[in-house]
Amino acid sequence: MMADEGARVRVIALMGGAVLGKRMTEMGLNVGAELVVRQRQGGGLIVMRGETRFALGGGMAHKIMVTPA
């Protein structure tokens, strides 16, 4: 699903393969993490996990599968 600004979502899958999965997990964006979408910019997003903000490009954002939290 494409989350709207202000939406609280839970990561259910990372679809980019082992390298992307490892990179995202190291950033703290692992399966089960709750995120808040702060801003949508074209295909990219700014999301928050706790007090930490992450800027994700469109390619990376589309590989993160989420569900409403």
**Residues 6+ positions from 12 with CB-CB distance below 8 Å:** 31, 65, 66, 67
> What is the distance between the alpha carbons of residues 12 and 5, in angstroms, rounded to a whole number?
19
Q: Is residue 52 part of a domain?
A: yes
The answer to whether residue 44 is domain-embedded is yes
Judge whether 2 lies within some domain. Answer: no
Q: How far is CA 34 from the centre of its chain?
A: 9
Domain total of the chain: 1
pLDDT at 1: 58
- For 53, the domain range is 8-68
Predicted pLDDT of residue 34:
97
Q: Is residue 1 part of a domain?
A: no
Q: Which residues of the chain carry a pLDDT beneath 70?
A: 1
CATH number assigned to the domain comprising residue 49: 2.30.30.90
In a domain, 12, yes or no: yes
